[in-house]
Chain A
Amino acid sequence: MNDDQLMTAVRESFADVRSVTELDRIVSRSQAVRFRRSVAGVVAAVGATAAAGVAVAVSVAMPASGPAASLPTRGHLATSHPASGPSVRLAAWSVARQTNGNIKVTFREAADAGGLQRTLRTDGVPASVTFTGHQNPACQAYTSGGGPAFGPFGANTGPLSGRSFIHDPKSAYTTPYALVIDPSALPSGAGLEISASGTPGMADNFQLNVVLVRASAQCTGS
Protein backbone atom coordinates (compact mmCIF):
# COMPACT_ATOMS: atom_id res chain seq x y z
CA MET A 1 0.00 0.00 0.00
CA ASN A 2 1.62 3.26 -1.07
CA ASP A 3 1.04 6.66 0.51
CA ASP A 4 -1.72 7.68 -1.88
CA GLN A 5 -3.58 4.42 -1.40
CA LEU A 6 -3.30 4.77 2.35
CA MET A 7 -4.64 8.33 2.32
CA THR A 8 -7.43 7.29 -0.03
CA ALA A 9 -8.38 4.48 2.34
CA VAL A 10 -8.49 6.92 5.25
CA ARG A 11 -10.57 9.40 3.24
CA GLU A 12 -13.02 6.77 2.07
CA SER A 13 -13.46 5.37 5.55
CA PHE A 14 -15.04 8.70 6.53
CA ALA A 15 -17.34 8.89 3.52
CA ASP A 16 -20.40 8.16 5.62
CA VAL A 17 -19.61 10.85 8.18
CA ARG A 18 -21.97 13.64 7.21
CA SER A 19 -23.02 16.77 9.00
CA VAL A 20 -26.65 16.58 10.07
CA THR A 21 -27.12 20.26 10.89
CA GLU A 22 -29.36 22.20 8.54
CA LEU A 23 -28.32 25.56 7.18
CA ASP A 24 -31.19 27.36 8.91
CA ARG A 25 -29.88 26.32 12.29
CA ILE A 26 -26.39 27.62 11.49
CA VAL A 27 -27.77 30.94 10.28
CA SER A 28 -29.92 31.24 13.37
CA ARG A 29 -26.93 30.50 15.55
CA SER A 30 -24.89 33.10 13.71
CA GLN A 31 -27.38 35.73 14.80
CA ALA A 32 -26.67 34.78 18.40
CA VAL A 33 -22.95 35.08 17.64
CA ARG A 34 -23.48 38.59 16.28
CA PHE A 35 -25.46 39.51 19.37
CA ARG A 36 -22.73 38.20 21.67
CA ARG A 37 -20.16 40.21 19.76
CA SER A 38 -22.18 43.39 19.91
CA VAL A 39 -22.63 43.02 23.66
CA ALA A 40 -18.94 42.19 24.12
CA GLY A 41 -17.98 45.20 22.00
CA VAL A 42 -20.03 47.55 24.10
CA VAL A 43 -18.64 46.10 27.32
CA ALA A 44 -15.07 46.34 26.00
CA ALA A 45 -15.51 49.93 24.87
CA VAL A 46 -17.02 50.93 28.21
CA GLY A 47 -14.25 49.11 30.06
CA ALA A 48 -11.53 50.67 27.95
CA THR A 49 -12.98 54.12 28.44
CA ALA A 50 -13.15 53.57 32.18
CA ALA A 51 -9.58 52.23 32.21
CA ALA A 52 -8.38 55.23 30.24
CA GLY A 53 -9.95 57.47 32.85
CA VAL A 54 -8.23 55.60 35.64
CA ALA A 55 -4.89 55.75 33.81
CA VAL A 56 -5.17 59.50 33.43
CA ALA A 57 -6.05 59.85 37.08
CA VAL A 58 -3.06 57.76 38.13
CA SER A 59 -0.65 59.63 35.91
CA VAL A 60 -1.83 62.92 37.29
CA ALA A 61 -1.65 61.76 40.88
CA MET A 62 1.66 59.93 40.58
CA PRO A 63 4.56 61.09 38.46
CA ALA A 64 6.57 58.58 36.47
CA SER A 65 9.21 58.48 39.16
CA GLY A 66 6.62 57.64 41.78
CA PRO A 67 6.06 54.41 43.68
CA ALA A 68 5.93 50.99 42.13
CA ALA A 69 2.17 51.12 41.69
CA SER A 70 2.59 53.75 38.99
CA LEU A 71 4.98 51.73 36.87
CA PRO A 72 4.11 52.49 33.27
CA THR A 73 2.39 50.35 30.74
CA ARG A 74 3.91 50.26 27.28
CA GLY A 75 2.19 49.16 24.16
CA HIS A 76 1.94 49.34 20.43
CA LEU A 77 -0.95 51.43 19.16
CA ALA A 78 -2.51 49.52 16.33
CA THR A 79 -5.53 51.58 15.47
CA SER A 80 -5.94 55.17 14.43
CA HIS A 81 -9.07 57.23 14.64
CA PRO A 82 -10.22 60.46 13.09
CA ALA A 83 -9.35 63.57 15.03
CA SER A 84 -12.96 64.58 15.40
CA GLY A 85 -15.27 62.96 17.90
CA PRO A 86 -14.57 60.74 20.86
CA SER A 87 -12.36 57.71 20.28
CA VAL A 88 -10.81 54.84 22.14
CA ARG A 89 -7.27 53.87 21.23
CA LEU A 90 -6.46 50.28 22.07
CA ALA A 91 -2.92 48.96 21.91
CA ALA A 92 -2.18 45.86 19.84
CA TRP A 93 -0.41 44.67 22.95
CA SER A 94 0.66 46.16 26.21
CA VAL A 95 3.28 45.19 28.75
CA ALA A 96 2.98 46.27 32.35
CA ARG A 97 5.30 45.53 35.23
CA GLN A 98 3.33 44.79 38.36
CA THR A 99 4.34 45.76 41.85
CA ASN A 100 5.50 42.24 42.66
CA GLY A 101 7.84 42.18 39.65
CA ASN A 102 5.58 40.10 37.45
CA ILE A 103 5.05 41.15 33.84
CA LYS A 104 1.52 41.32 32.49
CA VAL A 105 1.16 41.04 28.73
CA THR A 106 -2.15 41.78 27.08
CA PHE A 107 -2.64 40.88 23.41
CA ARG A 108 -5.28 42.47 21.21
CA GLU A 109 -3.77 42.18 17.74
CA ALA A 110 -0.84 40.32 16.25
CA ALA A 111 1.21 43.39 15.36
CA ASP A 112 4.77 44.63 15.98
CA ALA A 113 6.19 41.35 17.23
CA GLY A 114 9.68 42.89 17.22
CA GLY A 115 8.57 45.67 19.53
CA LEU A 116 7.00 43.22 21.94
CA GLN A 117 10.11 41.07 21.88
CA ARG A 118 12.34 44.05 22.68
CA THR A 119 10.03 45.20 25.46
CA LEU A 120 9.90 41.80 27.12
CA ARG A 121 13.65 41.37 26.93
CA THR A 122 14.13 44.83 28.43
CA ASP A 123 11.87 43.75 31.29
CA GLY A 124 13.99 40.68 31.92
CA VAL A 125 11.98 38.06 30.06
CA PRO A 126 14.10 36.08 27.59
CA ALA A 127 11.64 35.89 24.72
CA SER A 128 11.23 35.19 21.04
CA VAL A 129 8.08 36.68 19.52
CA THR A 130 6.81 35.96 16.02
CA PHE A 131 3.38 36.64 14.56
CA THR A 132 4.15 35.48 11.04
CA GLY A 133 2.90 31.94 11.45
CA HIS A 134 6.41 30.56 11.69
CA GLN A 135 8.56 30.24 14.76
CA ASN A 136 12.16 31.35 15.05
CA PRO A 137 14.11 28.35 13.69
CA ALA A 138 16.89 29.01 16.21
CA CYS A 139 14.57 28.17 19.10
CA GLN A 140 14.72 24.72 20.62
CA ALA A 141 12.12 23.29 22.96
CA TYR A 142 13.12 23.36 26.59
CA THR A 143 12.78 20.04 28.33
CA SER A 144 13.52 19.12 31.88
CA GLY A 145 14.11 15.48 32.60
CA GLY A 146 12.34 14.60 29.41
CA GLY A 147 9.27 16.58 30.42
CA PRO A 148 7.15 18.43 27.89
CA ALA A 149 7.42 22.04 26.94
CA PHE A 150 4.89 24.41 28.42
CA GLY A 151 2.05 25.88 26.38
CA PRO A 152 -0.61 27.69 28.37
CA PHE A 153 -2.74 28.28 25.28
CA GLY A 154 -2.06 25.05 23.48
CA ALA A 155 -2.54 21.37 23.94
CA ASN A 156 0.37 20.93 26.37
CA THR A 157 -1.22 22.96 29.09
CA GLY A 158 0.11 22.84 32.58
CA PRO A 159 3.14 23.84 34.59
CA LEU A 160 6.38 22.19 33.62
CA SER A 161 7.52 21.72 37.16
CA GLY A 162 7.99 23.61 40.36
CA ARG A 163 6.84 27.20 40.53
CA SER A 164 4.34 28.47 38.06
CA PHE A 165 5.85 31.22 35.95
CA ILE A 166 2.74 32.10 33.97
CA HIS A 167 -0.47 32.98 35.67
CA ASP A 168 -4.00 33.63 34.58
CA PRO A 169 -3.86 33.11 30.83
CA LYS A 170 -7.11 34.29 29.34
CA SER A 171 -9.09 32.35 26.81
CA ALA A 172 -8.92 32.95 23.09
CA TYR A 173 -12.59 33.87 23.01
CA THR A 174 -12.55 36.13 26.01
CA THR A 175 -10.32 38.53 24.16
CA PRO A 176 -7.98 40.15 24.78
CA TYR A 177 -5.54 37.42 25.58
CA ALA A 178 -3.59 38.17 28.70
CA LEU A 179 -0.98 36.41 30.72
CA VAL A 180 1.20 37.26 33.67
CA ILE A 181 4.82 36.16 33.58
CA ASP A 182 6.92 35.73 36.68
CA PRO A 183 10.46 36.08 35.24
CA SER A 184 12.10 34.94 38.47
CA ALA A 185 10.24 31.63 38.28
CA LEU A 186 11.40 30.71 34.81
CA PRO A 187 13.54 27.58 34.93
CA SER A 188 17.26 28.23 34.64
CA GLY A 189 18.33 28.46 31.00
CA ALA A 190 14.76 28.77 29.74
CA GLY A 191 12.94 31.48 27.86
CA LEU A 192 9.56 31.94 26.24
CA GLU A 193 8.63 31.56 22.61
CA ILE A 194 5.44 33.45 21.81
CA SER A 195 3.96 32.77 18.40
CA ALA A 196 0.67 32.93 16.60
CA SER A 197 -1.22 30.54 14.39
CA GLY A 198 -4.31 31.18 12.38
CA THR A 199 -4.97 34.46 10.66
CA PRO A 200 -3.76 37.63 12.41
CA GLY A 201 -6.55 40.15 12.70
CA MET A 202 -9.27 37.53 12.61
CA ALA A 203 -10.03 37.06 16.26
CA ASP A 204 -12.11 33.89 16.00
CA ASN A 205 -9.41 32.16 14.06
CA PHE A 206 -6.37 33.49 15.84
CA GLN A 207 -4.53 31.31 18.31
CA LEU A 208 -1.68 32.38 20.55
CA ASN A 209 0.95 29.84 21.53
CA VAL A 210 3.46 30.18 24.34
CA VAL A 211 6.14 27.55 24.64
CA LEU A 212 9.13 27.17 26.92
CA VAL A 213 12.38 27.14 24.93
CA ARG A 214 16.09 27.01 25.63
CA ALA A 215 17.40 30.54 26.16
CA SER A 216 20.05 31.53 23.62
CA ALA A 217 21.30 34.65 21.93
CA GLN A 218 19.77 33.59 18.62
CA CYS A 219 16.40 32.65 20.08
CA THR A 220 15.61 34.69 23.16
CA GLY A 221 18.40 37.26 23.08
CA SER A 222 20.25 35.98 26.12
Chain B
Amino acid sequence: MGSQSLDFAEFYRGARHECLRAVLVSVGDRDMAQELVDEAFARACASWQKVSKHPAPAAWVVRTALNENISRWRRRRREVAVPDPGKFADVPAADGASGGAVDPRIMAALLGLPARQRQVVALRVFLDLDTERTAEVLGVSPSAVKAHLARAIGALRDDLVHIGNLESQA
Protein backbone atom coordinates (compact mmCIF):
# COMPACT_ATOMS: atom_id res chain seq x y z
CA MET B 1 0.00 0.00 0.00
CA GLY B 2 1.57 3.27 -1.09
CA SER B 3 1.56 6.56 0.76
CA GLN B 4 -1.38 7.78 -1.30
CA SER B 5 -3.40 4.76 -0.21
CA LEU B 6 -2.39 5.31 3.38
CA ASP B 7 -3.66 8.88 3.15
CA PHE B 8 -7.01 7.66 1.94
CA ALA B 9 -7.18 5.02 4.65
CA GLU B 10 -6.59 7.63 7.30
CA PHE B 11 -9.25 9.87 5.80
CA TYR B 12 -11.72 7.01 5.54
CA ARG B 13 -11.28 5.91 9.12
CA GLY B 14 -11.63 9.44 10.37
CA ALA B 15 -14.59 10.57 8.28
CA ARG B 16 -16.72 7.54 7.50
CA HIS B 17 -19.03 7.73 10.50
CA GLU B 18 -19.66 11.46 10.17
CA CYS B 19 -20.34 11.15 6.46
CA LEU B 20 -22.78 8.31 7.07
CA ARG B 21 -24.63 10.35 9.69
CA ALA B 22 -24.81 13.37 7.40
CA VAL B 23 -26.21 11.32 4.52
CA LEU B 24 -28.59 9.46 6.83
CA VAL B 25 -30.11 12.76 7.93
CA SER B 26 -30.56 13.73 4.30
CA VAL B 27 -32.01 10.49 2.88
CA GLY B 28 -33.68 9.07 5.98
CA ASP B 29 -32.90 5.42 5.29
CA ARG B 30 -30.02 3.67 7.07
CA ASP B 31 -29.28 1.03 4.42
CA MET B 32 -29.54 3.48 1.55
CA ALA B 33 -27.30 5.94 3.36
CA GLN B 34 -24.67 3.24 3.89
CA GLU B 35 -24.81 2.24 0.22
CA LEU B 36 -24.54 5.84 -1.00
CA VAL B 37 -21.66 6.67 1.33
CA ASP B 38 -19.77 3.52 0.34
CA GLU B 39 -20.13 4.41 -3.33
CA ALA B 40 -19.02 7.98 -2.67
CA PHE B 41 -15.97 6.83 -0.71
CA ALA B 42 -15.10 4.40 -3.49
CA ARG B 43 -15.16 7.27 -5.97
CA ALA B 44 -13.09 9.38 -3.62
CA CYS B 45 -10.55 6.56 -3.38
CA ALA B 46 -10.51 6.20 -7.17
CA SER B 47 -9.80 9.94 -7.52
CA TRP B 48 -7.91 10.43 -4.28
CA GLN B 49 -5.10 12.42 -5.83
CA LYS B 50 -7.68 15.03 -6.83
CA VAL B 51 -10.13 14.71 -3.94
CA SER B 52 -7.39 14.96 -1.33
CA LYS B 53 -6.74 18.52 -2.53
CA HIS B 54 -10.36 19.48 -1.94
CA PRO B 55 -10.66 21.91 1.00
CA ALA B 56 -13.20 19.59 2.66
CA PRO B 57 -12.94 16.02 1.34
CA ALA B 58 -15.70 14.82 3.68
CA ALA B 59 -18.04 17.40 2.19
CA TRP B 60 -17.05 16.12 -1.25
CA VAL B 61 -18.06 12.61 -0.17
CA VAL B 62 -21.42 13.76 1.20
CA ARG B 63 -22.16 15.87 -1.87
CA THR B 64 -21.25 12.96 -4.12
CA ALA B 65 -23.47 10.61 -2.12
CA LEU B 66 -26.40 13.03 -2.38
CA ASN B 67 -25.81 13.48 -6.10
CA GLU B 68 -25.79 9.72 -6.49
CA ASN B 69 -29.09 9.56 -4.63
CA ILE B 70 -30.61 12.02 -7.11
CA SER B 71 -29.07 10.13 -10.00
CA ARG B 72 -30.55 6.85 -8.80
CA TRP B 73 -33.87 8.53 -8.32
CA ARG B 74 -33.80 9.75 -11.87
CA ARG B 75 -32.85 6.33 -13.18
CA ARG B 76 -35.76 4.77 -11.35
CA ARG B 77 -38.03 7.63 -12.40
CA ARG B 78 -39.94 7.52 -9.18
CA GLU B 79 -39.78 9.23 -5.86
CA VAL B 80 -37.37 7.91 -3.29
CA ALA B 81 -39.64 7.09 -0.41
CA VAL B 82 -38.64 8.93 2.71
CA PRO B 83 -39.81 6.93 5.69
CA ASP B 84 -42.92 8.25 7.33
CA PRO B 85 -41.74 10.33 10.30
CA GLY B 86 -44.48 8.70 12.36
CA LYS B 87 -42.86 5.36 11.77
CA PHE B 88 -39.82 6.49 13.71
CA ALA B 89 -41.86 8.08 16.45
CA ASP B 90 -43.77 4.86 17.09
CA VAL B 91 -40.87 2.47 17.45
CA PRO B 92 -38.27 2.20 20.18
CA ALA B 93 -34.69 3.02 19.35
CA ALA B 94 -32.92 0.05 17.85
CA ASP B 95 -29.97 -1.42 19.61
CA GLY B 96 -27.22 -2.88 17.48
CA ALA B 97 -23.47 -2.98 17.17
CA SER B 98 -23.62 -1.69 13.61
CA GLY B 99 -25.45 1.43 14.64
CA GLY B 100 -28.79 2.91 13.70
CA ALA B 101 -29.78 3.54 17.29
CA VAL B 102 -31.07 7.06 16.73
CA ASP B 103 -33.57 8.56 19.12
CA PRO B 104 -36.72 8.01 17.04
CA ARG B 105 -38.20 11.33 18.15
CA ILE B 106 -35.19 13.26 16.90
CA MET B 107 -35.11 11.26 13.68
CA ALA B 108 -38.80 11.93 13.15
CA ALA B 109 -38.28 15.65 13.77
CA LEU B 110 -35.40 15.75 11.29
CA LEU B 111 -37.35 13.89 8.63
CA GLY B 112 -40.15 16.39 9.05
CA LEU B 113 -37.85 19.13 7.76
CA PRO B 114 -37.70 20.07 4.08
CA ALA B 115 -34.85 18.36 2.24
CA ARG B 116 -32.68 21.47 1.95
CA GLN B 117 -32.97 22.21 5.67
CA ARG B 118 -31.95 18.62 6.45
CA GLN B 119 -28.92 18.98 4.18
CA VAL B 120 -27.87 22.19 5.90
CA VAL B 121 -28.24 20.57 9.33
CA ALA B 122 -26.27 17.56 8.15
CA LEU B 123 -23.35 19.61 6.87
CA ARG B 124 -23.28 22.06 9.76
CA VAL B 125 -23.80 19.56 12.57
CA PHE B 126 -22.05 16.40 11.44
CA LEU B 127 -19.29 17.77 9.20
CA ASP B 128 -18.92 20.97 11.19
CA LEU B 129 -18.70 23.05 8.03
CA ASP B 130 -18.96 26.80 8.32
CA THR B 131 -21.65 28.80 6.55
CA GLU B 132 -19.53 29.65 3.52
CA ARG B 133 -18.38 26.08 2.91
CA THR B 134 -21.91 24.75 3.39
CA ALA B 135 -23.14 27.28 0.86
CA GLU B 136 -20.49 26.21 -1.61
CA VAL B 137 -21.29 22.52 -1.24
CA LEU B 138 -25.02 23.04 -1.68
CA GLY B 139 -24.71 25.69 -4.39
CA VAL B 140 -26.70 28.31 -2.50
CA SER B 141 -25.83 31.65 -0.97
CA PRO B 142 -24.49 31.95 2.59
CA SER B 143 -27.58 33.93 3.55
CA ALA B 144 -29.75 31.06 2.32
CA VAL B 145 -27.76 28.66 4.50
CA LYS B 146 -28.32 30.86 7.53
CA ALA B 147 -32.02 31.10 6.78
CA HIS B 148 -32.38 27.33 6.29
CA LEU B 149 -30.50 26.61 9.50
CA ALA B 150 -32.55 29.09 11.51
CA ARG B 151 -35.79 27.60 10.23
CA ALA B 152 -34.55 24.08 10.88
CA ILE B 153 -33.52 24.88 14.43
CA GLY B 154 -36.83 26.57 15.07
CA ALA B 155 -38.80 23.61 13.76
CA LEU B 156 -36.67 21.08 15.66
CA ARG B 157 -37.02 23.03 18.86
CA ASP B 158 -40.79 23.22 18.46
CA ASP B 159 -41.02 19.48 17.81
CA LEU B 160 -38.71 18.40 20.60
CA VAL B 161 -40.14 20.79 23.18
CA HIS B 162 -43.62 19.61 22.25
CA ILE B 163 -42.53 16.02 22.79
CA GLY B 164 -40.91 16.96 26.08
CA ASN B 165 -44.11 18.61 27.25
CA LEU B 166 -46.14 15.54 26.34
CA GLU B 167 -43.74 13.32 28.26
CA SER B 168 -43.81 15.55 31.33
CA GLN B 169 -47.62 15.46 31.31
CA ALA B 170 -47.71 11.67 31.06
Contacts and interface: CB of A to CB of B under 8 A. Distances in A.
Interface in B29-67: 30, 34, 37-47, 50-51, 54, 60, 63-64, 67
Interface in B1-23: 5, 8-9, 12-13, 16-17, 19-21
B121 interface: yes
Contacts of A26: 12, 38, 41-42, 45
A197 B139 contact: yes
The dominant DSSP class at the B interface is helix
B147 interface: no
A13 interface: yes
B110 interface: yes
Interface residues of A, number: 49
A33 B50 CA distance: 15
B162 interface: no
Contacts of B19: 19
Nearest to B106: A13
Contacts of A154: 70
Q: Which residue of B38, B135, B161 has the most chain A CB atoms within 10 A of its CB atom? A: B38
Contacts of B138: 197
Contact of B161 (A1, A135, A173, A196): A1
Contacts, number: 155
Contacts of A134: 135, 139-141
Contacts of B102: 13-14, 16-17
Given A6-B157, A17-B20, A196-B139, A33 B74 contact: no
B153 interface: yes
B156 A6 contact: yes
A202 B137 contact: no
A135 B141 contact: yes
Interface residues of B, number: 65
Interface string A19-49: 1110101110111111001000000000000
Given A19-B37, A23-B12, A135-B141, A37 B46 contact: yes
B156 A21 contact: no
Contact of B98 (A13, A18, A153, A207): A18
Contact of A18 (B20, B47, B110): B20
Contacts of A16: 99-102
B13 A30 contact: no
Nearest to A14: B21
B161 A198 contact: no
A133 interface: yes
Given A17-B24, A17-B99, A204-B43, A1 B157 contact: yes
A172 interface: yes
B75 A10 contact: no
Interface in B91-128: 98-103, 106-107, 110, 115-116, 121, 124-126
Q: Which 7 A-B pairs have the closest CB atoms?
A: A197-B139, A30-B45, A29-B42, A16-B101, A33-B46, A19-B16, A18-B99
7 contacts: A7-B153, A17-B102, A19-B16, A20-B98, A21-B37, A133-B136, A197-B138
Interface of A: 1, 3, 6-7, 9-11, 13-14, 16-21, 23, 25-27, 29-34, 37, 133-135, 137, 153-155, 157, 169, 171-173, 195-199, 202, 204-207, 209
